[in-house]
Amino acid sequence: MTVHFQTLLLVIMVTGLVMAISVGAVANWHQRDGMTYWAVGLALHAISYFFVTQTGTLGEFGSFLIYILCRACSWAVFAEGLYQFCHRPAPRALIWTPVVLTGVSFVLLFDQLVARIIGTSLIGAVQVLLSLLFMWHMRHETPGRGKYFVIVGLVIALTLLLLRAAGATQGDPAAIVSLTTSTPIQAVSGFAVLTILMLLSIGFVLMSKDRADNLNRLLATRDELTGLANRRRMREVLTSEWSRASRSGQALALVMIDIDHFKNYNDQYGHQAGDVCLQQVAQSIAVCAARAGDLAVRYGGEEFLLILPDTEASDAQKLAQNLCQAVEALGLRHLNSPSGKVTVSVGLAVQTERLYEDAESLLRAADEALYHAKHGGRNQVQVALASLLPGTLVSRTPMKLVQLIWRRAYESGNPLIDAQHQTLFIDANKLLGAAFDGRPADEVEKLVQVFVADIARHFQDEEDIIKRAGYAGAAEHAQRHRILLAGARDLLTRFHGGSVGVGELFQYLVHEVVARHVLIADRDFFSSLNAALPEPGRLPTET
């Protein structure tokens, strides 16, 4: 079958212009996505073939010079588009020097057909190779499969130009540039050019679409202000990491962060300053999520969350402490903060050895630890008590990291209640120390007996005090006491019989009684306490 070359040229021009117009119609220069450059490149490539048909009007020299310059410019513009699409600075000297060399070589070698074809073809091959190497280098950073269409189109163009240069030395060079005869060489070249234009057009449009889709997915899982993951993404990752940790038995740490006195900061400095504060704190948090599997999340408002797979309690606490120091080191002025600077409170919970039944329980534990950090004076790290169970911390962890520390913020204002609460802290620390030191079961049992006795004495005295103070929920609070005390005595009996381990004892006495009840539930009646002093002689016996 014979292909009419001039008809093929017309098809190439029309196809190229239609594609250029289509790409240009959706291009937006302000988005700087390379689409405008690509549309111009397609138009130049298509228009260049018009000038090779104008030898009768412009002469062979003029028509072919414009043709060769348009084609060289099109490859340079394609390169500009690729660099802009990938948001990389374009090496313009490298991109546009071949265009100048193309014009110079054409003028100097115009009377030497073979040398002219070889020179202009090799310079064009260098231009294509520049774009091809850049695309190959950026392939991992370019989402989707459209990049492969562009790469294939560039490979075909490079091959065609190299074959054109080689063909000029071995065949009839006049046949390569002939416009009057429809030779196989011209037909193959024409179809190759048409294929190249289609691959480049479709490929670049697909690249733009793939990146837009990827950006939409990213925006759907990112917080717009801080750039951190949002709660939707957090849920996905937490569910996945929880399942993985459950299967592998590896630790999973959650670090919950809250900016101290942030409402006061907004009220004093304004919401724009508040946004800047959130962004700078978020940057400090993002630095902590340095590993590939870590995730920094804006949990909501001024709260943030770190998901740290395969992270033990001691490592997570060290990271959290470093974060507190890093935020304070930002030096953001905050007159309503005790330190005069913006600080954060941090709560930490770690899942090891199935301490928590599900991801929500782990999240609640981290939130509860954050509550203790905030009400314990702020600008500090608190670890969820359940995460301090024996066996959850590595042996290198200093003991001071797992001591329960009494703080003034825990005080009720009643001397007897506060003294008894401090005694329960002492009992908890003695039990924790005995468990970590591997003390004999009978010695641990004696400590638990004292612990339970102090709990019973405290509950009775507390009930008398809040009843006299007129606390409306005194009866309900007393009922909670009876349930907690019955549970403690039952666990002590089962521990004596060997059916319960020290870990379960610690979980109940420290987490349920001390953390949940003493430090949280008891706060309900603080405002009801009157100024009446407790009767003397009723302080609990220290152990």
In tens, the pLDDT along 467-497 reads: 988 888 999 999 999 999 999 999 889 888 8
Q: Write out pLDDT tens, residues 148-168.
A: 999 999 999 999 999 888 887
Q: How high is the mean pLDDT of the chain? A: 85
Contacts of 115 (CB under 8 A, 6+ apart): 109
Contacts of 357 (CB under 8 A, 6+ apart): none
β-strand partners of 298: 304
Residue 196 clears pLDDT 70, i.e. is over it: yes
What is the model's pLDDT at position 119? Answer: 92
**Considering the chain, what percentage of its residues have pLDDT values greater than 70?**
89
What is the model's pLDDT at position 250? Answer: 87
Predicted confidence band of residue 531 (pLDDT cuts 50, 70, 90): very low
| Mean pLDDT, residues 375-388 | 78
| Mean pLDDT, residues 311-322 | 88
Alpha-carbon Rg for the chain in angstroms: 37
Q: Do domains 223-402 and 407-543 have the same CATH topology?
A: no
Contact between residue 98 and residue 150 where contact means Cβ atoms under 8 Å apart = no
β-strand partners of 52: none
Higher pLDDT: 161 or 397? It is 161
What is the model's pLDDT at position 187? Answer: 74
Contact between residue 112 and residue 66 where contact means Cβ atoms under 8 Å apart = no
β-strand partners of 306: 255, 296
Residue 173 clears pLDDT 70, i.e. is over it: no
What is the model's pLDDT at position 308? Answer: 95
| Mean pLDDT, residues 369-388 | 81
Q: In CATH, which superfamily holds the domain spanning 407-543? A: Hemerythrin-like (1.20.120.50)
CA distances from 28 to 38, 82, 530 (A): 12, 15, 70
Any long-range contacts for 155-163 (C-beta under 8 Å, 24+ apart)? 156/192, 156/195, 156/196, 156/199, 157/128, 157/196, 158/125, 158/128, 158/129, 158/132, 160/189, 160/192, 160/193, 160/196, 161/121, 161/122, 161/124, 161/125, 161/128, 162/121, 162/122, 162/125
Instruction: For strands 381-383 and 344-351, give the pairing.
Output: parallel
Degrees, nearest 5: CA angle 494-495-497: 65
β-strand partners of 462: none
Token pair 């995460």 in the structure block, residue:
387
Q: Write out pLDDT tens, residues 55-106.
A: 888 888 999 999 999 999 999 999 999 999 998 999 999 999 999 999 999 9
Contact between residue 277 and residue 332 where contact means Cβ atoms under 8 Å apart = yes
Residue 120 clears pLDDT 60, i.e. is over it: yes
What is the model's pLDDT at position 386? Answer: 61
**Considering the chain, what percentage of its residues have pLDDT values greater than 90?**
44
Higher pLDDT: 354 or 433? It is 433
Higher pLDDT: 167 or 303? It is 303
Q: Where are the domains of the chain?
A: 5-220, 223-402, 407-543
What pTM was computed for the model? 0.53
Predicted confidence band of residue 8 (pLDDT cuts 50, 70, 90): confident
Q: Write out pLDDT tens, residues 220-267.
A: 888 889 989 999 899 999 999 999 988 888 899 999 999 999 999 998
What is the model's pLDDT at position 398? Answer: 37
Residue 180 clears pLDDT 60, i.e. is over it: no
| Mean pLDDT, residues 411-428 | 89
Residue 271 clears pLDDT 60, i.e. is over it: yes
What is the model's pLDDT at position 390? Answer: 42
CA–CA gap between residue 518 and residue 504 (Å, rounded)? 19
Among 343, 386, 342, 341, smallest CA distance to 363 is for 386
302 part of the active site: yes
Q: In CATH, which superfamily holds the domain spanning 223-402? A: Reverse transcriptase/Diguanylate cyclase domain (3.30.70.270)
What is the model's pLDDT at position 394? Answer: 34
CA–CA gap between residue 239 and residue 407 (Å, rounded)? 35
β-strand partners of 300: 303
Sequence-ordered strand ranges (E) for 16-170: none
Selected catalytic residue, list 60, 141, 224, 302? 302
